[in-house]
Structure 1
């Protein structure tokens, strides 16, 4: 649907199905007609809050694809180095020597490919003034490295996906939510199940960044 309507200039409003479901209260049964009516009611009720969809910038889309490729290459390279460390830790020197002899060329090739991908990422970022500016701003913060800054740009769509720092913190999985009611319910405070916790550690370092960017 997106690939059909967006190229012809149609205005698109994308909204989470979970958000729509929870905003409409309790409902019984499920049919396509009933779902269509509920979505229509939601759209009518929340028209003022709508945010029209904008396709991801082509440069950022390319950077995201390259970053994913880098991750895949890093995983393959890590498999070789981890096995070497395991052999060494167990004192299996003959196995270690054989492993290094048979994997050295492959590991070197993977490391070379990682550097090539990183160079391509840098080249694409430099072609976009907005990406380059935000990348430099992120890396100017103590403790924020190149990869953390890169994934912050990718996950936030160059800081266009979130309207405030609270939403970003919730998405990153570092915003705890209380679960309690009077004295009868005292659940453990926890983060949202819908959070992207794959890189929560890196996101913790950059939560303050969003406020800094939004003030500039």
Structure 2
């Protein structure tokens, strides 16, 4: 909201430098507070779920922040009976469009679950691809297979 106000103010024909400076200071203070809250939350998660975060962080591409998000998103995995439920909750389950015997569409993910965790896992996959040789080989194999199919 502060960012929008700052951008709107800068679009005005006559801009008050005092107002711009005040909004910039407010934005800086809010960003600092958000960072402090995130650090406290991460420290609390690390203290409470130390073993789970260590296990999740051992997966290539997943850091402590994403591990904490996964734990909170999945309810420490106690509410899930199997991995399929977690995949469905995150909106990563495959969906194929078919109609009878003649229409066969491409398979896509459903995107019906949590978009925030899905986007974080997507970014983690790029990190894993850069830092882990096995992930890089796997992704390049998928890319070549998709390229040959088209």
**TM-score normalised by the chain length of structure 2:** 0.59
Query: Runs of 5+ in structure 2 lacking a partner?
Result: 126-150
Cα separation, partners in 2 of 1:95 and 1:140, compared to 1, 3 Å: farther
Match of 2:33 in 1: 113
Larger Rg: 1
Please show how residues 76-91 of structure 1 align to structure 2 within 5 Å.
Answer: 80=3
Cα separation, partners in 2 of 1:125 and 1:199, compared to 1, 3 Å: closer
Cα separation, partners in 2 of 1:120 and 1:141, compared to 1, 3 Å: same
Match of 1:150, SS state, is helix
Say if 2:48 is the partner of 1:125: no
Q: CA deviation at 1:187?
A: 4.2
Q: How many residues align?
A: 124
Match of 2:75 in 1: 157
Q: CA deviation at 1:154?
A: 0.9
Aligned Cα root-mean-square deviation (Å): 3.6
Counterpart selection for 2:93 from 175, 196, 203: 175
Moved over 6 A (4+): none
Cα separation, partners in 2 of 1:198 and 1:121, compared to 1, 3 Å: closer
Match of 1:186 in 2: 104
User: Is the contact made by 1:170 and 1:191 (CA closer than 8 Å) also made in structure 2?
Assistant: no
**TM-score normalised by the chain length of structure 1:** 0.44
Query: Runs of 5+ in structure 1 lacking a partner?
Result: 1-75, 207-216
Determine the C-alpha separation between the residues in 2 that align with 1:193 and 1:201: 11
